[in-house]
Structure 1
Amino acid sequence: MQEIAAHKILQPLITAQDVKVIKEGQTIFENLNFNWVPGENWAIVGSSNALNSQFLQVMMGRLPVSQGRIHAYFATDYLAMNADDGKFHSYRDLIAYVSPQHHFKSKNNTQDFYYQQRFNSSDVGEALTVLEYLKATVITRDRSYWNVERVLDLFQLEKLIDKSIITLSNGESRRLMLAAALLRNPSLLLMDNPMVGLDRETRAQFGKILAIIAQSGISIMMATSPQEIPDIMNRVGILHEKTFYEQVNRSTFNANNFTFLMEQPAGTDLDQTVFAGLGLNNKVSSFRYIIQMRDVTIKYGEKVILNKVSWEVKSGECWALRGQNGAGKSTLLSLINGDNPQAYSNDISLFDRKRGSGESIWQIKKNIGFVSPELHQFFPKTQSCLQVVLSGLFDTSGLFRTVTEHQKVLALQWMKAFGIDHLAGKRLSQVPLNMQRLCLLARALIKNPALLILDEPCQGLDHQQRDFFKAMVSTICRTSHNTLVYVSHYLEEIPDVVDHFITLEKGIRI
């Protein structure tokens, strides 16, 4: 009896045996073997974020296996117990997945949201509140541990329960997605770069949060960077060249021992020849002040988002905007980018012209190149990557007009600079998230605007892509005298050209 009990304890949760995966004619994985046993929590790292993400998709059964087998032992009892209830059941019922992007819907669950909607109070009512969203997510199973009260406490969401989900900051949305995943009361929790978008304080607490989740009986797997592996993750899988290069204990893992985790992949070297053809120039902007704000206050109902914020940015200055999740950073940027109608009721001047003096939104946007996690979230994914980049010339979410051959060549030059010109004909939805982000970065830069607003621009990029982009931004700002407003929770992501800082705390400039 003791031998039988020991065997049951050691039975794997899920295995992959000699798996081969082919997607769109390309082999993604081959000779892939993996064994996940109880008590293990896995960190998946690799030579690219895309490869890590695709492995999670394989574990979930979202990428079909062409050869080999995935065996989900952890779901055996569940499937047997529900075999005769007349409904379709899968081991995926017992997996909760936290993706890099949310998929929030309107209250009637029939429409997606658009980017500017989050700043229009008349549209906010179409979305669920945080509490409504969580209540609609709960799945109760036998011996369920997680409920709404517990996840609100764990992720410190109590103060947000009445807030519309489309008004949440990027970091707040990430916390809500994690809370919703727990309310499925899964056996396995899979997370794709869950720490991205979280402020420093929340990241510091994340390991403790994962420990509490693991103590509740949930086994955890997360795709992450080699530099951000919480202590609770006791196993590390290193992916390289379509399979696992090695699987090691967390205590013995050292990223420096795996040079491919640090080497620069093809397509990220800054080609000076290509760079010279991007339409950049050293012409100094004709504007004296890019931004002038005086005692700006933004409220939604009784909730004060910005409280008497004053800020001046002169032409050619490079600023970093800092603050915790929910500090008001996105709202501040929306006032500059022409997306927030409350700009008209405040003392704001952009490009030496007071808001509300007869200027159109398009006159403002023509001087701005912009990217943010929220723009990425809401950007239409049906157009080609080339069309996405070209749309930056016209400040539209997608391309809806005929372009000249010169404009097309310019867009391809920018894509080549980022190493993504081979994706020009693919739909945005067909390429990995980090490549989508590079398309949107090229879109922001293509018209060499007077003002660059880059909100968490490196989110989802590989380490090497991040360093490349930082170098490119610094070179552009020095060459073309662009004004820069740069947002990041990571100091190492801020380009060295930045020499001014503004910090928000609970809507107040400090």
Structure 2
Amino acid sequence: MDSLILSFGGITVRSITSILFSDLCFDIHEGEQWALVGPSGSGKTALLETIAGKFHISGGEAKYPFFNKYVSRFEIADPLFNRQKLIALVSSRHHFRNLSNTSSFYYQQRFNSADSEDVETVEQYLHSIKSNTPVVWTYSRVTERLRLTPLLGKQLIKLSNGETKRLLFAAALLKNPVLLLLDSPFTGLDAESRKDLNYLLSEIADSGIHIVMATPPGEIPDVITNVAILQDRKVIKAEQKKYFDAAQASYPETAQIDADELNRLLAIHVAQTHKTLLEMKDIVIRYGDKLILDHVNWVVASGERWALLGPNGAGKSTLLSLVNGDNPQAYANDIILFDRKRGSGESIWDIKKKIGFVSPELFQYFPVSSSCLQVIESGFYDTLGLFRPSDPFKASISKRWMELLEIDASAQKQFRNVSASVQRLCLLCRALVKNPPLLIFDEPCQGLDPHQQEHFKKVVDEICKYSNVGLIYVTHYPHEIPESVNHTLKLNDGKVVA
């Protein structure tokens, strides 16, 4: 029998506020590469973080033979050397800090030139990573293989969502870990990058690194040898991949949308009517010598529903930042928003109150200390958190949107203590509560399980059916695009290509 790498025998796992697992059993043997599948909240991320040593194990038996073998093989005498140094976790959030190491990044920092200077470059960040022995994944190999060489001089805050994902992979590989833990690694990557990642994972396994990853059942890469199905924070089945049937990972049936309730919510505040939601003429955006948007023209009329497509780094997020009022370079370009020329006296808040917005960057930087209900209520004020006493009427509307998106059970829970998928759904509710004339959803289905994706798409289609809202929808997955979308703008290298 293959020798053990790691063994959890009936363990109890606790966070500060709750018991995460009771009587959890999970083993990894040499040569095995594991995928963790299951619905949102089933415990996939919690299991990865337990392996990484982020939670307290208070019962059962946890064994880490890989650590003992490593220490013996390389004759390590350092008493401070622990198993966490041999584990690398690539999570759904990064934890970058500024050059002075005094604070984390904040939303909009990438567009403010003074503050964005207090940020490491990709090269500086990668050089700060300490490698274990043996060094198989060297700096030159990692930067070349992850296509980071052109980005080495770029500041971390200015990376696209997909570029950030590649950087986090590179940092994890530079550690040359024994165990590589990946939380939804394909999320945020375009089709070509997902294909390349499939090959990369095989290279990683061939180099002797063991992989454990949380992933949807439809995105299990070729390298995976074993699959564990989780449900209600239990491993209900573990088997070789060749015996795995994706239908075994059950998800709830997509419920019918309560159209009457949706119409009541849409009638609370009827969006102001505009002829033109957005008009861009010959838009050019540069950062230093880098041309981000290259003579872009685009018109979005009231009631139109658009898919904004393109590979990672194509310029989509920068384009949206001009619409959403976050990018000061909007003033140097010819832009009309809601029938009014940009820079003619309107404030950022005048713009934001007409837009419901969600993006991977908003998810990354949204403060986590509020309750889920407070996070959603903050959408009425377009603030990143609720900085005033809760209004009972607005709170009740927020709760009704939570019910519509099936997350009302989390209303009073702290945002930081719910799953990433519930956090993302909270931010989607936050975008919807004020019934704006324009919705901008930048990769809204990231981190949602198949049931949540389908349910959210139905909600979007029903909103479009019963209102004249405009929609801009960004995704790398064609199946995520709602049926109501009937226009497409495609970017590549900052240019409109379709």
TM range (shorter): over 0.9
8 Å CA contact retained: 2:276, 2:302 = yes
Q: Quote the residue 2:428 is aligned against.
A: 441
Contact preservation (8 Å) 2:269, 2:435: no
Per the TM alignment, residue 26 of structure 1 is displaced from its structure 2 partner at its CA by: 5.0
- Quick one: structure 1 residues 50 and 300, their matched pair in 2 at CA, closer, same or farther if it must change by over 3 Å? farther
Q: Partner of 2:90 in structure 1?
A: 98
Residues 351-379 of structure 1: CA deviation (Å, up to 9, x unaligned): 00111111111111110000001001011
Following TM superposition, by how much is the alpha carbon of 1:164 offset from its aligned partner in structure 2, in angstroms? Answer: 0.7
2:426 counterpart letter in structure 1: C
Cross-structure match for 1:168: 159
TM-score, normalised to structure 2's length? 0.95
How far off is 1:261 after superposition?
A: 2.2
Q: Distance in 1 between matches of 2:23 and 2:17?
A: 17
Instruction: Identify the match of residue 54 of structure 1 among 37, 46, 61.
Output: 46
The question of 1:211 aligning with 2:202 is answered yes
2:110 is the alignment partner of 1:118: yes
| Structure 1 counterpart of 2:121 | 129
Structure 2 counterpart of 1:292, which letter? E
Going from structure 1 to structure 2, the CA distance change for 1:333 and 1:57 (only over 3 Å counts) comes to same
Q: 1:70 is matched with which residue: 62, 75, 78? A: 62
User: Which residue is 2:138 aligned to?
Assistant: 147
SS at match of 1:244: strand
User: Whole-Å Cα distance in 2 between the matches of residues 50 and 33 of structure 1?
Assistant: 15
Find the residue that maps to 1:65 and give its secondary structure: strand
Output the amino acid matched with 1:264.
E
TM-score (normalised: structure 1):
0.93
Q: Which residue of 2 aligns with 1:291?
A: 278
Verify the 8 A CA contact 2:271 2:437 in the aligned structure 1: no
Q: Which residue is 2:294 aligned to?
A: 307
1:426 aligns with 2:413: yes
Aligned 8 A contact 1:319 1:501 in 2:
yes
The equivalent residue for 1:40 is: 32
Counterpart selection for 1:495 from 475, 482, 487:
482
Q: Match for 1:190: what amino acid?
A: L
Counting only pairs closer than 5 Å after superposition, residues 13-412 of structure 1 correspond to structure 2 as 13-23=5-15, 26-48=18-40, 51-79=43-71, 84-85=77-78, 87-137=79-129, 139-256=130-247, 258=248, 260-264=249-253, 270-272=257-259, 274-280=261-267, 285-412=272-399
Q: Hey, what does 1:3 align to over in structure 2?
A: none
From the superposition, tell whether residues 140 and 404 of structure 1 become closer, same or farther in structure 2 (CA, over 3 Å): closer
How many angstroms does 1:215 deviate by?
Answer: 1.5
Q: Distance in 2 between matches of 1:501 and 1:31?
A: 50
1:50/1:433 contact within 8 Å kept: no
Q: Given that residues 115 and 378 in structure 1 are in contact (C-alpha distance below 8 angstroms), is that contact kept between their aligned partners in structure 2?
A: yes
1:39 is paired with a residue whose SS is: coil
Match of 2:273, as an amino acid? S
> What amino acid is the match of 1:33?
C
Could you report, residue by residue, the CA deviation over 1:372-403 in whole angstroms, capped at 9, with x for unpaired residues? 01001011111111111111001111111234
Q: 1:73 to 1:152 in 2, by over 3 A?
A: same
Any stretches of 5+ residues in structure 1 without a counterpart? 1-6
| Residue in structure 1 matched with residue 465 of structure 2 by the alignment | 478
Deviation larger for 164-173 or 408-417: 408-417
Question: How far, CA to CA, are the matches of 1:227 and 1:190 in structure 2?
Answer: 19
1:410-449 alpha-carbon deviations (Å, 9 max, x no partner) = 1111122222222222221111111111111100000000
- Secondary structure at the aligned position of 1:21 is classed as strand
Note the C-alpha offset of 1:24: 6.1
Per-residue CA distance 1:40-79 (angstroms, 9 max, x = gap)? 1111111335511111122222222232121100000445
CA distance in 2, matches of 1:341, 1:25: 42
Local SS of the residue matching 2:219: coil
Letter in 1 for 2:252: E
Q: After superposing the two structures, state which structure 1 stretch, 411-420 or 428-437, moved more.
A: 411-420
Structure 1 Cα separation of the partners of residues 56 and 34 of structure 2: 22
Return the alpha-carbon distance in structure 2 between the equivalents of residues 461 and 216 of structure 1: 31
State the 1:275 CA deviation: 2.9
Q: 2 CA distance for matches of 1:51 and 1:157?
A: 32
In structure 2, distance between residues paired with 1:446 and 1:82 = 59
* In structure 2, distance between residues paired with 1:321 and 1:179: 28
CA contact (8 A) 2:225 2:241 kept: yes
RMSD of equivalent CA atoms: 1.9
Aligned residue-pair number: 496
Q: Alpha-carbon deviation of 1:211?
A: 1.0
Structure 2: which amino acid aligns with 1:117? Q
Pick closer, same or farther for the CA change 1:262–1:431 going to 2, 3 Å: closer
Of stretches 238-247 and 495-504 in structure 1, the one that deviates more from structure 2 is 238-247
Query: Does the residue aligned with 1:202 lie in a helix, a strand or coil?
Result: helix
Q: 1:456 aligns with which of 439, 443, 457?
A: 443
- Point out where structure 2 has 5 or more consecutive residues left out of the alignment: none
Q: Is the 8 A contact 2:6 2:66 kept in 1?
A: yes
Q: Which moved more, 1:56-65 or 1:172-181?
A: 56-65
Deviation track 1:139-159 (CA, whole Å, cap 9, x = no partner) reads 233321112111111111111
The whole-number CA distance in structure 1 between the counterparts of 2:262 and 2:383 is 25
Cα contact 2:271–2:435 (8 A) shared by 1: no
**What is the identity, as a one-letter code, of the residue corresponding to 2:186?**
M
Match of 1:4 in 2: none
Alpha-carbon offset, residue 479 of structure 1: 1.0
Report how far residue 406 of structure 1 moved: 1.2
User: Per the alignment, do residues 49 and 509 of structure 1 end up closer, same or farther by CA in structure 2, a change over 3 Å counting?
Assistant: farther
